Amino acid sequence: MKRATLLLLACTALFAQLDKAEKKEGFKPVLNKSLKGWKGDSRLWKIEKGVLIGSTDGVKISKNTFLISEREYGDFVLRTEFKLRNHNSGIQFRSTEMPEYVVQGLQADIAYDN
């Protein structure tokens, strides 16, 4: 099976909190209270109060960079909430990891203006 990796690009996403209905449906959080099991530029990613925060504020980057799961996923349904401030972002899936936290593959785009 081709590596199915879930990646996140500079978005604020809520993963760690599931309601009773989601638990009953079999949903599981992708993240918990830390970035254990994930790799990426530690200057850009953190978890605060169960929320994943990706930010380039005060950091100069020369290219897109991603937070990459060390886990492989089969078929899945992803539910997320996000918040953006004058930027765009996205969630990569079924992607191939490249050097320096870069990926190539499918992306669900998330944009501030739509």
The H-or-E segment that residue 97 falls in is: strand 88-98
Q: Sign of the C-alpha dihedral, residues 39, 43, 50, 64?
A: negative
pTM for the predicted model, two decimal places:
0.73
User: Which of the pair, 13 or 107, is modelled with greater confidence?
Assistant: 107
User: Bridge partners of 36?
Assistant: none
Of the candidates 1, 10, 2, which has an alpha carbon nearest to the alpha carbon of residue 107?
Answer: 10
pLDDT tens digits, one per residue of 18-50: 788 888 888 888 887 889 999 999 999 999 888
Distance separating alpha carbons of residues 74 and 5, to the nearest angstrom: 9
The H-or-E segment that residue 17 falls in is: none
